Amino acid sequence: MIILGIESTAHTFGIGIVKDKKILVNVISAYKTEKGGIIPMEAAKHHAEVSEVILNEAINLAKIRINDIDAIAYSHGPGLAPCLLEGLKFAKKLSEKLNKPLIPVNHCIAHLEIGELTGAKDPVLLYASGANTQIISYSAGKYRIFGETLDIGTGNFIDTFARHCGLGFPAGPKIEQLAKNGKYIELPYSIKGMDVAFSGLLTNLKQKYDKGEKIENLAYSLQETAFSMLIEAAERALAHLNKKELLLGGGVACNSRLQEMAKIMCFERGAKFFCPPNDLLTDNGAMIAYLGEKMFKAGISIAPEKANINPRERTDDVEISWK
């Protein structure tokens, strides 16, 4: 079986092709800005401009014919409405042209299920991306959110601070580099039950920067503080659920200090640590195709005229019939 997956929830337009659980290709084009954050309409325009090129590249690299595709999976939500709509439009057009059905995939669950390729069977997912920060796991018939950010996503928090200091977007890798030469200074640590919050930390970092604190020290302390919060919440989820596997997902999980902290926590409590390669951590079409294949095999598909999006889809809104 061959499934084509389309990702378009935010700044990335991606197409992945999966054949019998094997990723044949994973092509992306990411919309970037020199300064300022992501403008949803601009990102959507980017997706419309690159979609045909990315499709052709994916088909050629996969060495398949477009008619070999059995179904088309697309990101149904959550995400930015203009971006999701562009993905839907493209998916519908392809579905009509090839006369193949569509599969609506939840973006967050796709981040979790792709972890299977790394060997994870029943993990707690620490999903930290630009817009999202959630701790997700399967329990009592559904994927449930056990903890999440009460304000902004970890990546947006890092990017916003970095923008204040004149660094470009995305800033995660730059902050990671700067942190290598930094020293620890105390910052507010904000975790409420299973949830985290970043806005107080963000304000405090900006104030310290404006008062002349070295950016290296701020970058280092930002990582130590924000990532400790994430690891603490993830560890508590492992304990409460009595689970033995931690999986990382989302662009922020590319950070080697976050990975190191997660590894140490897992080692100390006898849990296994799983982390996909970077191209499967950040937004991508392969994870959409991968979960799409499982859903399709379980009988989930829709005709193009019935397809829609849900920008605010919650992980626990989704009926799980493929497990």
One-letter amino acid for residue 285 of the chain? G
Name which of 256, 258, 78 is nearest 154 in CA terms.
258
Q: How far is the CB of 87 from ligand ATP (least distance, A)?
A: 12
CA–CA distance, 311 with 304 (Å, rounded to integer): 18
**H/E element holding 147?**
strand 142-148
Residue of the chain from 2, 3, 10, 110 that contacts ligand ATP (CB under 6 A): 10
Q: How far is the CB of 284 from ligand ATP (least distance, A)?
A: 8
Q: Quick one: which segment of 6-14, 20-28, 118-126, 296-304 binds ligand ATP (CB under 6 A)?
A: 6-14
CA–CA distance, 110 with 68 (Å, rounded to integer): 23
Residue 285 contact partner, candidates Fe ion, ligand ATP, none, CB within 5 to 8 A by sort of partner: none
Q: How far is the CB of 51 from ligand ATP (least distance, A)?
A: 17
Is the C-alpha dihedral spanning 139, 253, 229, 165 positive or negative? negative
Residue of the chain from 158, 219, 248, 291 that contacts ligand ATP (CB under 6 A): 158
Residue 301 contact partner, candidates Fe ion, ligand ATP, none, CB within 5 to 8 A by sort of partner: none
Q: How far is the CB of 87 from Fe ion (least distance, A)?
A: 13
Question: Does 129 help bind Fe ion (rule: CB under 5 A)?
Answer: yes
Integer angstrom CA distances of residue 273 from 28, 115, 155, 261: 27, 11, 21, 11
Name every residue whose Cβ is closer than 8 Å to that of residue 242 and which is 6 or more positions away in sequence: none
- Interacting residue ranges for ligand ATP, rule: CB under 6 A: 9-12, 79, 129-132, 153, 155, 158-159, 170-173, 176, 250-252, 254-255, 282-283
